[in-house]
Amino acid sequence: MIRKSDKSLALIFALFAFFHGRAMTVLSEKHPVVYARDSVPVPAPTHLFEIGKTTINGNRITRGYVIERELPFKAGDSLTLEEITESFGKIRERLINTRLFNEVEVSLKEFRGYTIDIRIDVKERWYIFPLPYVRPVDRNFTAWAEEHYSLKRFDYGLKYSQYNFTGRNDFLRVWLITGYMKEVELAYDRPNTGKELKHGFGGGFLYGEQEELDLATYQNKQVFVNSDSLLYAGKFMQEQMNFSLRYYYRPGLRTRHFLRLSFNNVKIDSAVLVYNPYYFLNNRRNIFYPELSYLIRYNNIDYVPYPTRGFYFEGGLLKRGITADMNMWQLNTKTSEAFSFAPKMYFVSEDFGLIRVPFKQPFYNQQLLGYNDYYMRGLERYVVDGVACVMARNTVLRELTHFDVPFMRGTAHDHIPFHIYAKAYVDVGYVYDKYFNLNSMVNSPLYTGGVGIDVVTFYDFVFRAEFSMNQLGEKGVFFHIRNDF
């Protein structure tokens, strides 16, 4: 990130170079120095410069117009020198958040009178990952520990993912998974099409089978039943099939719209209804339903996997099913706000809200707190089912150090960056359920707090080690790994 002081220094150097005429050097994050060639009188701060050519280097695979789509200006635009240099930090953030590059540097390449040429240097990531796939299926490390670190609770197989498939920031995924869950998935997404790259499309197919299923919640914990325990060896507790179509619309630089239509078929074994007759409504074993969802995202944050500055908003509306057997509307929101309040210190607030109507929903539609990103630090051992939820996670960060480790010299991966943060946090939440409210945490205020260490490195990898306490008086050390790539 380019700091405010760096921007001012860059502007001073730019004006100095504009007057004296020197050879050009890159504007980087650590050394914002800019030089020019031609010697002309120093312009007034409000004088407008015309944007000339933009030269992009290092994009062996990524199409140039995909990078230019992230720029806040185009050739022929007129801006002050301060506006141009201040935009460099935002350009870098947007290009890093495309998940296409490890590093981005932006510079004033050359002055040609009152025309300025721009230079962008990028280091591309690896895009092809034909990797063996091994991953525990539990919600987090703590949930896996409660299953005694069983190696049976792993999915494994072949995971072929090719990001930036044709250089247009598109994505091809072919997964062949076995183990805990048998799964075949084919998917393709291309978010940038059309003359102005405002539209996109995608689609996918998934087929999966599970020998074990969490079919109820007891004492705020998942209850699993598997076919072996029921003497059904080799029989699946749940079978599902999904086909989806997706449309993307991006009218500007920060706002994106997503529309998704899917057709789903879910079949469960009769034993599931013996244990939980409310798993589906009306004692159904086989449910076919369409699902339509809309999502809007506004992203003005420096780094999505680990924000320290900026604002992010996400809002979604989902309609699942159209019959009495499956009928649910869901509205959800998420915001993240982060800012620096002292050197190397940051405050990050994440707020979540969700509601499902009608309130009487089958267990299949009850998963809420403790799943995916809806979790409170210190309650990793538990899940809280419901139809409505509010939650806030508040964190104070202090950057302890950052350093680079030499890696593959002479390549785009010549070093691995590490940023290490200390943190303290307080989380609060509340889950509402009118009909299924026997678990003690539902319809009750929830609050946790703690301290921890975060390690952030390339490929959006974030490792979190946390010592947390909750409203039950419980304490413990918990670990989280996030990698969105």
| Structure confidence by residue, pLDDT tens digits, 120-165 | 999 999 888 766 666 666 666 666 666 666 666 666 677 788 899 9
Domain count of the chain?
A: 2
Tell whether 84 and 147 lie within a shared domain.
Answer: no
Last residue of a domain, one of 71, 106, 124: 124
pLDDT in tens, 389-414: 999 999 999 999 999 999 888 777 88
What digits encode the pLDDT tens for the residues 181-203? 788 999 999 998 988 899 999 99
Q: Domain end: 124, 146, 161, which one?
A: 124
pLDDT, mean of residues 416-428: 96
Mean pLDDT value across residues 473-483:
88
CA distance 283 to 288: 14
Residue 373 and residue 413 share a domain: yes
Does 80 share its domain with 137?
no
Asked whether the predicted pLDDT for residue 9 surpasses 50, the reply is no
Q: Within this chain, do residues 230 and 335 fall inside the same structural domain, yes or no? A: yes
Do residue 77 and residue 180 come from a single domain?
no
Query: 96 lies in which domain range?
Result: 4-124
Same-domain check for residues 240 and 335: yes
Q: What is the CATH number of the domain that holds 100?
A: 3.10.20.310
The answer to pTM > 0.95 is no
Q: What is the pLDDT of residues 246-302, one digit of tens each?
A: 999 999 899 999 999 999 999 998 888 888 999 998 889 999 999 999 999 999 999
- Are 100 and 140 within one domain? no
Same domain, yes or no: 190 and 247: yes
- Judgement on whether residues 254 and 294 belong to the same structural domain of the protein: yes
CA–CA gap between residue 430 and residue 160 (Å, rounded): 39
Shared-domain flag, residues 150 and 236: yes
Judgement on whether residues 171 and 221 belong to the same structural domain of the protein = yes
Q: For the residues 225-254, what does the mean pLDDT come to?
A: 83
Q: What is the pLDDT of residue 16?
A: 45
Q: Among 99, 124, 149, where does a domain finish?
A: 124
**Same domain, yes or no, for 132 and 120?**
no
